[in-house]
Amino acid sequence: MMEQFIEIKANNPGSLLFYRMGDFYELFFDDAAEASRALGITLTKRGQHMGYDIPMCGVPVHAADDYLQKLISLGYRVAVCEQIEDPAEAKKRGSKSVVKRDVVRLVTPGTLTEEKLLVASESNYLMTLARIRGNSEQQMALAWIDISTGVFRVAETEHTRLLADILRIEPREFILADAIFHDPELKPVFDVLGRVAVPQPAVLFDSAMAESRITRYFGVETLDGFGTFSRAELTAAAAAVAYVEKTQIAERPPLGRPERESGNSTLFIDPATRGNLELTKTLSGSRDGSLLKAIDRTVTGGGGRLLAERLMSPLTDPEVINHRLDSISFLIDEPSLCGDLRTGLKHVPDMPRALSRLALDRGGPRDLGAILIGLQAARTVGQSLSKVMLPPELEEAMASLAALPDDVENLLSGLLAEELPLLKRDGGFVADGAYAELDEVRALRDQSRKVIAGLQLQYADETGIKSLKIKHNNVLGYFIEVTAGNAGPMTDTPEAKARFIHRQTMANAMRFTTTELADLETRIANAAGQALVIELEAFTHMNNAVTEQAEAIKAGARALGIIDVAAGLAMLAEEWGYRRPIVDDSRMFAIEGGRHPVVEQALRRQSAGAFIANECDLSPKDGGEFGALWLLTGPNMGGKSTFLRQNALIAILAQMGSFVPAASAHIGVVDRLFSRVGASDDLARGRSTFMVEMVETAAILNQATDRSLVILDEIGRGTATFDGLSIAWASVEHLHEANRCRGLFATHFHELTVLSEKLNRLSNATMKVKEWDGEVIFLHEVGPGAADRSYGIQVARLAGLPDAVVERARDVLTKLEDSDRKNPASQLIDDLPLFQIAVRKEETRRGPSKVEEALKALNPDDMTPREAMDALYALRKQLAEK
């Protein structure tokens, strides 16, 4: 057995080997030590190898999914080794023969299908990267597959946008050739991906074999019907197929045909912007607090995945965007229909994932049940939609629902029982009455006593022996027993002897059998097994019927997801007062009453008051061709960052096809969105906070076009004042003159506001504040003009800095602002502020002064005006003497 394990392990390096032994998966040697630490299970030993104990641990087969989930989340890959031979066959080769085993599947993060290992509302993508080098240039392409749903897409990419394209898809596993993985030029990309990136042998990425691999997988002669693909795209797609074949061994998931995505069809969002805007998760990695969490009102797993896909990949085609918006408008105008649809959708299981498990022979009765319930729900939803005139997107979805196979639904509803077991081997999933033969063997299995009692009564009537009994023991099985004195009717005639076969004579009794009883005994003994065989044949029949209609079922499931997303966004719009944006090919960007979708909901949850809505108009000025720039100044904590982010999020929501949190919005399609908000470092790559800021700013200035939207916050604040001011100044000029994009530029460098005098598309805007009784009140309103102060000291006081530090800061600020010297800070050196603070603290420790004691002793209510005047002069004299 150990020889077998070692041989199989040698063929699967880099994976933990789950070696099937009876009801357990066993791990040995280093795998056992590694797994015991990762899973927190006991490490024991089994036998010896080369004189040393063999470490061993194991997990029960019935609980394997739970352990796999933990291992996969920790980055491990697992090879599942099963028995591929009946133990009885192994015994024919000799008593010591080992049952044949082999790896039937490699479990990796990107090839999961088990329900327990997947998140219903998240896709689980496997992605591949291919690079084809030519004489003067190179082609790069990405392919991504979700084998749990059958999604298969490809797209070209390039070095400058590679990381952005990868993060848009968020693959769980990223496959690439060894040579690319070790390319120094691309190393920064793979450093960001971490252990998600997995190098593979170059043979997987052989472009010469690419087309034949794909045609063989899909069983076609040519790819002409699939569309036109570049050589790099075909290579990436073929590598994805090859990796699926490598991990799934003999099984084939029902993948859809590869669909080509154009790089210009989606809004380009660079990696830093995705992180800053917290689209699907916050900077801390939590889904709570993200934009996706704020807008998700879907009720199905497929709808949740589609919503996330649309959020991560907003469109740039106004026609398609407006089709999505039409669906939401329609459902808002039909609230009763929208409610009915959502009620029906709540009962829809995850059909694509159930279908994938069935196609991979990992499915069970509940997966067939999920298909049946999904088909029934789809019919109900389709009937609701058929009663009204629909917008294009919903019309197309209803056509997919109408194409769902009725024969599959009828077959499943006729064969499946109401209560379904998890595993097909448990039986009991075929309904009573579906098969007469199954009903008969079930009756024998479940009602054997009743059948035997009926036969006993028949024999008693036939022989006239009222005391006749049918009994059972482990030696004879079932037999007829009568007393010796009553045995005559069973032995007196040749016919009786032929009918009742003598088995045994006891002191006071005789035992007989009949061919009928012997046959019944055999049938009872085999009934359970026969029932399971019949049910397994029925399962195979249903499974084949479902998988033959895989494409239609997947299309119907996607249609349900589209309806779910539209209904969820309609509900969101009604709940929060979102409005339909105007989206076209212009350079407009006019938002009235805009709100931050995440912050607004957080304020309501905390009962912290209403969100202050603001306008933002970056549309071309005076009939100009290009959009405007706003230079935004104002105090810390005034709401600049929130204002910046909310406008970027409104653009994303509009282009993904959603209503937006604003009174109105007119957005000309944005081709690229850049947002540099907040500060962070990258110490692992030797980058300071300022260096990261400059790298991200450089990417923006080098890539933004005249259709882009740029959000910049506090550029240049990480270095010396004049250096930072100079960088910010030059950046504003470059955005205005070279990029000519729409943009918001927030800064504390008030000197930049003079640029509005020479840059015709630049406008000054500020966050409004009000001072009252020495306090500053942040109004969180944006208005025209420029701030003259940053109110940093007031914010420092609110943050809890010691009063002495705050007062000293006020003194320093006053002297710096009043000074006309070249180096105003030098005149502050002699003030010795720390010594002054120490003196004040020492005075505090000595107790109250004489003046304070005299003041406390006075009682103004008992004093005449003359006495009060005399006391005041006395206090002034004491103070002067001090």
The binding site for ATP consists of 634-641
Compute the distance between CA of residue 364 and CA of residue 425 in angstroms, rounded to an integer: 9
Compute the distance between CA of residue 583 and CA of residue 666 in angstroms, rounded to an integer: 6
- Residue ranges at the known binding site: 634-641
HSE-up (13 A, CA, CB side) for residue 654:
30
Compute the distance between CA of residue 579 and CA of residue 663 in angstroms, rounded to an integer: 6
* Alpha helix positions (H), 278-405: 291-295, 301-312, 318-333, 335-345, 351-359, 365-385, 392-402
> In what side-by-side order are the strands of the sheet with 477-483?
469-473, 477-483, 509-513, 501-505
Picking from 629, 621, 587, the residue whose alpha carbon sits closest to that of residue 762 is: 629
Compute the distance between CA of residue 65 and CA of residue 813 in angstroms, rounded to an integer: 64
Compute the distance between CA of residue 722 and CA of residue 627 in angstroms, rounded to an integer: 29
Can you read off the two tokens belonging to residue 659?
Answer: 């209503």
Picking from 26, 29, 24, 22, the residue whose alpha carbon sits closest to that of residue 48 is: 29
Which secondary structure element, helix H or strand E, spans residue 4, and what is its range? Answer: helix 2-10
Compute the distance between CA of residue 782 and CA of residue 788 in angstroms, rounded to an integer: 15
Is residue 10 classed exposed, middle or buried when 0-12, 13-18 and 19+ CB atoms within 10 A define those classes?
exposed
Which secondary structure element, helix H or strand E, spans residue 56, and what is its range? Answer: strand 52-60
Can you read off the two tokens belonging to residue 73?
Answer: 């989340």
3-state secondary structure of 392: helix
At residue 76, φ and ψ (nearest 5 deg) are -80, 160
Residue 393 vs residues 319, 324, 614, 851: alpha-carbon distances, Å: 11, 7, 33, 84
Query: SS3 letters for 665-686?
Result: EEEECCCEEEEECCCCCEHHHC
Q: Across-strand partners of 743?
A: 629, 710
Crossing angle of helices 436-446 and 448-463, rounded to 10°: 80
Residue 872 vs residues 850, 851, 879: alpha-carbon distances, Å: 14, 11, 11
Amino acid at residue number 259: E
Please list the helix, strand and coil fractions of the chain in percent, rounded to the nearest 5, in that order.
50, 20, 30
HSE-up (13 A, CA, CB side) for residue 696:
33
